Structure 1
Amino acid sequence: MAQPAWDEPAILPLGSAPLPQYGHGSLADLLPTLAAGWDVPGYRAALTELAPADRACVFLIDGLGWEQLRAHPAEAPFLTSLVAGSRGGSGQPLTSGFPSTTATSLASVGTGTVPGRHGLLGYTVRNPATGDLMNQLRWQPWTSPGAWQPYETVFRAADAAGVHTAQVSAPHFRETPLTQVALSGGTFHGRLTGEDRMDRAALELAAGDRSLVYTYYSEVDASGHRYGVDSDAWRGQLMHVDRLAQRLAEQLPPRSALYVTADHGMVDIPQDEPSRIDFDEDWELGAGVALLGGEGRARHVYAVPGAAADVLTVWREVLGEQFWVASREEAVEAGWFGPPGELDARVLPRIGDVLAAAHDRVAVVATRREPRESELIGMHGSLTPEEQLVPLLEVRT
């Protein structure tokens, strides 16, 4: 391939972006595989390497990427032993899906569908009905959960098929719209401490001859955002969650499988101007833009009417050496949100006219309109292995 001339930007080709392994190796494939093992109607075993189990527990650790776990074996001896295939367990990576962010991934896990189908396409996206940005993690401004994400969760389908189904998480998640659209079905048990969640999850597993239990821990992600994944605080949280996973594994009832996974990984973004491109101070990036959605490493850019082509050209010229920059049509056709044929028509207008996914350790921040998010050290959302790859670690009894 010819090298670009000295005055030409080295635009990253879209084909160089690693794609999530939808349909055979993504988070969206986990629960359908488990449901197929219980003969729940409508599901198939996409992860063929997972043998059926009468009782299954999914422990989702927010923010613990595969690459970060493998880089810290001393802090996570139990989880590392599963990566290595000892202790009777096994480990492999899955891809989270795009964007690699919590709202998107939890919806993919719970519904067993790709982002282009369930429609939770990032941290913030445009609501076509109002024209406003909607924060899908905080569900602000409020919109009808069932209209925004109408597909049944795997938990509801399993519960209807007679599988004992439960979620064990922090009490404040009980009534949130995100829980309703992504994780509802069966019985919710609120527990404040991680230790109480592990103990309750084990009890719920034993409560049925066939059981599906989900439990969750958020503080690995929170520490990464505040202090970075290269911090003592993050390492301390990894040590703690490693003990929690071992605590749960040691209480598994007979005929059980525990699956430890995550929603995304994370990268640290240096606190300097070249690494943090401030949209609110960059007139070129702002020209023709009506709304800036997504997050620092995975932006949805919504153009004013008639300006989409110009916005794409400018963003590609300014950022194309460090970001994969695509039009809506290009991102959909490339499969960023799932196979193009699976995209739900209601979802298409939520996608930015232009998408920008970071390749390097950079982020497009917005210090005035997103002051808190712009201060984060650890970030995620893009297609890089550090953000995309999440563990799938298995313990069986």
Structure 2
Amino acid sequence: MPPSVPSAPDTTANLADVLPSCLVALGAADDTWLRTTGREARITLRPARSVVVVLVDGLGSSALSARAGHARWLTAATGGGTLKRLRSGFPTTTAAALSTLTTGRPPGTHGVVGYSGWDPDGERVVNLLSGWDAEVPAGWLLSETVFTEATALGIDPVVVGPARYESSGMTANVLGGARYAAADSIAQRVDAALAATASGRSLVYLYVPELDSIGHKRGWESDRWTAALESLDGELARLAARCAADVGIVVTADHGVLDVPAEANIAIDPALLVDVVGIAGDPRCRQLAVRPGTDVPALVEAWRTRYGKKAYVASRDEAVAAGWFGAVDDRVLPRIGDVVVVARGSWAFNDDREADPRKEPKRMIGQHGAMTDDELFVPLRLAGAFAN
């Protein structure tokens, strides 16, 4: 394996461990269940009657630490709980990471390998975030969700999120098995989580998309992002204060984010795309499907020569051998790009071949998808019954 291709650890707790660990804390799952289902529960949690898992889209550990003064509850390490950090997984993008969280398996196993992915049967790129209603083939998600299995274990799974996501195809697939409680504001979502855990045994997933949306448009270093973090922190403090003593709280994120300067947005050299038939993924994690007969090693070397230390470039075989996608199912293998380009530093790779040369291309400020610590590491805040 070339020294330019880093390996991904397979023994470290990550998002796949969160829900199985919660089921163990609830007394609903044990070692036998873990072995039977092939899951891990490497996050040690105290026993609880119910659990609230708060997923803050786009909240990286680095950004949280940098804005600690605006997130006093989230960054508290003593008294009311414990602050740790967790690995997201790769790619560090919402569709893949949420699927990892809800199935308890890596992208190479559940099949959602990026923001978008290559459909080898349809020979096209499909959007794996918003394309579940019209683009993504039936049966794309290859793993049952933990929510589906929780019901059989006597736990009531509940998803709390904005009303606009309730009837989406992604919700039906990636959040399948849970009943949906629609609540548009963060405060309303906190109230819904409190209601869902007032009695019985519940596993509640509370989704917060606001910070990610602001980060993409304005950057995580913007005043707007900081204000949203401060507001969220207050609501999470209220959640912890009002939850029953036997309810455990986990706050984490799907990925972090970094702000990409305008000058770090690279327009991909068209010569490197001549044999490419599909460009999937994010600007910070491109997956290239190539036409049959293409010399993949030569294309990989051409990318490495052209962009040097701006990216890790690997063939599919190299990426899989390095463990980037975790254990890879044979059915998932052809969905991964023949060539995978992972931005280093704050670079981003854009396909501008069809852009209007008279206009400045529209770019997101906050981006993610790659392997920097800013993107990979997310907070793991434990509170309520889980406070150490």
Same fold flag (TM > 0.5): yes
Q: What are the residue-to-residue correspondences of 1:349-364 with 2, within 5 Å?
A: 349-364=334-349
User: Is the 8 Å Cα contact of residues 24 and 46 (structure 1) preserved in structure 2?
Assistant: no
Number of residues paired by the alignment?
373
Q: When the two structures are superposed, what TM-score results if normalisation uses the length of structure 2?
A: 0.91
User: Is the 8 Å Cα contact of residues 322 and 359 (structure 1) preserved in structure 2?
Assistant: yes
Distance 2:355 2:332 in 1: 24
**What is the percentage of aligned positions where both structures have the same residue?**
36
Q: Which moved more, 1:164-173 or 1:138-147?
A: 138-147
User: Structure 1 200/174 Cα, relative in aligned 2: closer, same or farther at 3 Å?
Assistant: same
User: Is the 8 Å Cα contact of residues 270 and 353 (structure 2) preserved in structure 1?
Assistant: no
User: Is the 8 Å Cα contact of residues 134 and 141 (structure 1) preserved in structure 2?
Assistant: no
Amino acid at match of 1:150: L
Amino acid at match of 1:276: N
Q: Which residue of 2 aligns with 1:39?
A: 28
User: Structure 1 347/45 Cα, relative in aligned 2: closer, same or farther at 3 Å?
Assistant: closer
User: Structure 1 244/122 Cα, relative in aligned 2: closer, same or farther at 3 Å?
Assistant: same
3-state DSSP class of the match of 1:116? helix
Q: Which residue of 2 aligns with 1:335?
A: 323
Distance 2:111 2:157 in 1: 24
The alignment's C-alpha RMSD in Å is: 2.1
The structural deviation recorded for 1:24 is: 3.7
Q: What are the residue-to-residue correspondences of 1:114-153 with 2, within 5 Å?
A: 114-139=106-131, 142-143=134-135, 146-153=138-145
Distance 2:340 2:355 in 1: 18
Gaps of 5+ in 1: 1-10
The structural deviation recorded for 1:12 is: 6.5
User: Is the 8 Å Cα contact of residues 12 and 321 (structure 1) preserved in structure 2?
Assistant: no
3-state DSSP class of the match of 1:168? strand
| TM-superposition CA deviations, 1:144-188 (whole Å, max 9, x none) | 665101321111111121112211101121122221222122321
The structural deviation recorded for 1:373 is: 9.1
Match for 1:154 among 115, 139, 146? 146
User: Is the 8 Å Cα contact of residues 59 and 378 (structure 2) preserved in structure 1?
Assistant: yes
Distance 1:321 1:366 in 2: 19
Q: What are the residue-to-residue correspondences of 1:1-397 with 2, within 5 Å?
A: 13-15=4-6, 19=8, 21-37=9-25, 38-40=27-29, 42-43=33-34, 46-81=41-76, 85-139=77-131, 142-143=134-135, 146-208=138-200, 210-272=201-263, 275-279=264-268, 282-307=269-294, 308-338=296-326, 342-367=327-352, 374-397=362-385
3-state DSSP class of the match of 1:129? coil
| TM-superposition CA deviations, 1:263-283 (whole Å, max 9, x none) | 0001111112xx11112xx22
| TM-superposition CA deviations, 1:319-377 (whole Å, max 9, x none) | 23111111100000100001xxx311111001000111111110001235689995101
Distance 1:310 1:388 in 2: 29
Gaps of 5+ in 2: none
Amino acid at match of 2:28: D
User: Structure 1 78/104 Cα, relative in aligned 2: closer, same or farther at 3 Å?
Assistant: same
User: Is the 8 Å Cα contact of residues 268 and 361 (structure 1) preserved in structure 2?
Assistant: yes
User: Is the 8 Å Cα contact of residues 161 and 184 (structure 2) preserved in structure 1?
Assistant: yes
The structural deviation recorded for 1:115 is: 0.6
The structural deviation recorded for 1:39 is: 3.0
Q: When the two structures are superposed, what TM-score results if normalisation uses the length of structure 1?
A: 0.89
User: Is the 8 Å Cα contact of residues 109 and 182 (structure 1) preserved in structure 2?
Assistant: no
3-state DSSP class of the match of 1:60? strand
Amino acid at match of 1:291: G
User: Is the 8 Å Cα contact of residues 132 and 169 (structure 2) preserved in structure 1?
Assistant: no
User: Is the 8 Å Cα contact of residues 118 and 151 (structure 1) preserved in structure 2?
Assistant: yes
Distance 1:88 1:283 in 2: 54
Q: Which residue of 2 aligns with 1:6?
A: none
The structural deviation recorded for 1:22 is: 4.2
Q: Which moved more, 1:302-311 or 1:211-220?
A: 302-311
Distance 2:224 2:239 in 1: 23
